[in-house]
Amino acid sequence: MKNDTSPIIVRTQGGSYPVLVRAGSMADLGSVAAERVRGRSALVVTDSNVAPLHLAAARASLDAAGFRTASHVVPAGESSKNLASLSALWSAMHDSGLTRSDLVVALGGGVVGDLAGFAAATWMRGVAVLQVPTSLLAFVDSAIGGKTAIDLPFGKNLAGAFHQPVAVLEDPLLLRTLPPRELRQGMAEVVKCGCILDADFFAWLETLPPEGPMAPEDMERVVRTCAAMKADVVSRDEREGGLRMLLNFGHTVGHAVEKSLGYGVVAHGEAVAVGMVAAARMGEASGVTESGTALRVESLLRRLSLPSRLSDVPAIDGGLHAICDAMLSDKKRAGSAVNFVFLESVGRAVVRPVPVTDLLSALSGAVGFESV
């Protein structure tokens, strides 16, 4: 596994593209880009945390491959995924002379990938985007699959588009610059992959040391395994018609927690961790989920120093009622029900609708409230 540098291929209706996982591959950004687009203008979109660390190297590689390169830096954090940031990015695309044959490079975590991808999807009705993730969460999930979006006051990721990248370049060396909290929240999406798709991988995660940095070979296994899972799911269900919905495990409650607290108060992965335990408990209470599954999920998350209950995150004004209200405007609502991903057991997941009228009772206790 550790020496495997072969491309992971994502196959979609619009064509195939590679996910390139290799230490040191940032140096290849320019050559990869030159192979994937006709134009030779590139706009690198990044954030204020990533820019001092990796922007110069990205621009140098693109310049060496013959690109005329510009850059646009947004403030770090979920609060940049908004209409104002999108409008500013469109202006940067105009100022840099970006045409339909050129390239947007999304250099950053999930926020940058979503924002830059959505801007690319909508500029001149679509320009190419190349994803270069710098966070573990983006490595294993958001950079792969073409889901792009911004947040609106009504909810998370409500304005967006499917816009597949021309390539995803994943250099595990970039993860060395991540602060511990960012690594931890990325591990929530890693746990999610095991929960819904691979019981053996979940069991392996349970054997990892609970403290200290992950060994490089273990991190490479995490990245390649999860990237391959995500690529396979996207290849079989590009536009979330069925199978891909399983990737929302933990996100129904997680997104509601993020919205209720205000975006950026808790990290996305932290909110998803709370949501996964809630969904596992709800599944057990409804008879869908094998008994003991919720405890196993919660135990692993706690080993990874992730929250698992609402009591682990800042208090939410309005409590459970506020969370339920946030769910009602989420894109996972389907008429008079909200779709939840439940586990049948670790490694097997299903989608089940929960009637809006049952949300309060279904959630009570599952997310750490003793009473409504």
The catalytic site residues sit at 125, 147, 189, 230, 240, 244, 248, 251, 255, 268
Per the CB < 8 A criterion, the answer to whether 309 and 316 are in contact is no
**What distance in Å separates the CA atoms of residue 284 and residue 293, rounded to the nearest whole number?**
8
Per the CB < 8 A criterion, the answer to whether 59 and 119 are in contact is no
Enumerate the β-bridge partners of residue 63.
none
Strand bridging mode 8-12 / 337-345: unpaired
- Within 13 Å and on the Cβ side, how many CA atoms surround 309? 12
- Which of 277, 271, 280 has its CA nearest to residue 313? 271
Three-state SS at 364? coil
Helices (H), the chain: 29-36, 56-64, 83-95, 110-122, 136-137, 180-197, 199-205, 216-236, 251-261, 268-286, 293-303, 319-328, 359-363
Packing angle, helices 293-303 and 268-286, rounded to 10: 160
Report the Cα–Cα distance between both ends of the chain, in Å, rounded. Answer: 48
**What distance in Å separates the CA atoms of residue 271 and residue 327, rounded to the nearest whole number?**
14
Distance of alpha carbon 261 from the chain centroid: 19
